[in-house]
Structure 1
Amino acid sequence: MVSLGWVYFKGEGTPVNINEAFKWTKLGVENGAVEAIPNIALHYANGWGTQKDLVRALMWAQIGMKLDPPDSGNPRRTSRIKRNAIKLERFYEKFAKGMSTGEIKQAEMKATKCEAQNYQSFAC
């Protein structure tokens, strides 16, 4: 699913279709593809295939950092996963910089709710 999202995003073998890219990337995340979390955060931050929503972008960055923080010390992590974790930290800082305290708290509450619902679309 995540790969299909990337194919649509980049237009590899098919015309670029940001809406389909978002749909498949989100489905991947909902089905446990942690590596797609930076992409879904960017989709929300930039309004790619969905309404721009910095609160959701920040929420996904926070979820991604919690699921696999850069300093977790997990020896099985690939360099790609490490890079994604570092990206998420940077995204979080960048997104939060332009947000109010209330918006940041809202993102944190949404992240908690999303986690409690096992990352299913109705909660996230």
Structure 2
Amino acid sequence: MKQRYYGLIFALLLVLVGNVRADTLEEGVAAARRADFATALKIFTPLAEQGSAIAQYNLGLMYDTGRGVKEDFTIAFNLYQQAAAQGDSAAQNNLALMYVEGRGVAKNLVEAIRLFKLSANQGYVNAQDNLSEMYRRGQGVVRNDAEAFKWASLAANQGLPTAMTRIAGMYFEGKGVTKNYAMALKWMRLAASRGEPVAQSNLAEFYVEGDAVGKDLPRAYMWFKISAGLGNGWAAGRAQVLSKRLKQEQIIWADNTAKECLAQKFVGCD
């Protein structure tokens, strides 16, 4: 079950930093979120120079992703580093990602783990998810499924779909936790209902195999189609293969239900 590292999002914590006004910061974040990066740049640059961790983080994100400015990982790294040193959990997480990937700095998984832990212990959901993945893969730490499950559970209980998908898989396989198909199904359904394509294709596989839930090939095909509609190429291939085992009326039902489900944003799909 493939996972991704998460951490890039324009963020705002409504606090005062020296003479930096929270409403000014809010204007900058609002501008960035509506893709008015020219305005965001004008707001964040002087505030970052004044020492606002929030502005440093958001300006770093602009340089990290090349939005409104020329992509520059070195500048992004320096800005994240300044914000992280002030305890900004989002900056700590994104700085850790740069150490994992070697963007703007030499790869250093040990430092990445340190930063992920700082952020995760503050309750930052993306860092909890990323730390879980590091433990699952054994990157920068000794592989530890129990730790992977612990951190994924914290993130899942904050509503992060990728973390829900991970603990569902761990319940299914009995890694880091006692095997429990009922819990695997619960969390996979929840992640699928939040629009997570990997969870949707995994739920489809549950219906194909009939382990965690009763075998239901038309419903499996439906979930593969939903996942494929969100860009999951692997799910599209599985749907094509599975279609050969279905009757035409079953395919029509699944196609129509998948379209309705996508239109309803996955409410009541399973």
Report the TM-score range of the alignment, normalised by the length of the smaller protein: 0.7 to 0.9
- SS at structure 2 position matched to 1:12: coil
Letter in 2 for 1:110: T
1:107 aligns with 2:238: no
Let me know the Cα RMSD of the aligned residues. Answer: 1.4
- Looking at structure 2, the residues matched to 109 and 89 of structure 1 have their Cα atoms a distance apart, in angstroms, of 16
Deviation at 1:41, TM superposition (A): 0.9
Q: Could you tell me which residue of structure 1 aligns to residue 243 of structure 2?
A: 96
- SS at structure 1 position matched to 2:205: helix
* Larger RCO of the pair (alpha carbons < 8 Å, separation 6+): 1
Aligned residue-pair number: 107
Larger radius of gyration: 2
Q: Could you tell me which residue of structure 2 aligns to residue 52 of structure 1?
A: 215
In structure 1, stretches of 5+ residues that fail to align are 69-84
- Looking at structure 2, the residues matched to 101 and 27 of structure 1 have their Cα atoms a distance apart, in angstroms, of 29
Letter in 2 for 1:44: Y
- Looking at structure 1, the residues matched to 196 and 234 of structure 2 have their Cα atoms a distance apart, in angstroms, of 16
Contact 1:19 1:48 (C-alpha < 8 Å) held by counterparts? no
- Looking at structure 1, the residues matched to 217 and 195 of structure 2 have their Cα atoms a distance apart, in angstroms, of 22
1:7 aligns with 2:7: no
- Looking at structure 1, the residues matched to 184 and 252 of structure 2 have their Cα atoms a distance apart, in angstroms, of 28
Deviation at 1:42, TM superposition (A): 0.1
1:1-124 residue pairs with structure 2 within 5 A?
Answer: 1-68=164-231, 85-120=232-267, 122-124=268-270
**% identical aligned pairs:** 30
Contact 1:59 1:111 (C-alpha < 8 Å) held by counterparts? yes
Q: Could you tell me which residue of structure 1 aligns to residue 10 of structure 2?
A: none
- Looking at structure 1, the residues matched to 225 and 253 of structure 2 have their Cα atoms a distance apart, in angstroms, of 12
- Where does structure 1 differ by over 3 angstroms across 4 or more consecutive aligned residues? none
Deviations 1:24-52 (A, max 9, x none): 01101111222222201101111232221
Q: Give the TM-score, by structure 2 length.
A: 0.38
Contact 2:227 2:235 (C-alpha < 8 Å) held by counterparts? yes
- Looking at structure 2, the residues matched to 114 and 51 of structure 1 have their Cα atoms a distance apart, in angstroms, of 21
In structure 2, stretches of 5+ residues that fail to align are 1-163
Contact 1:22 1:48 (C-alpha < 8 Å) held by counterparts? no
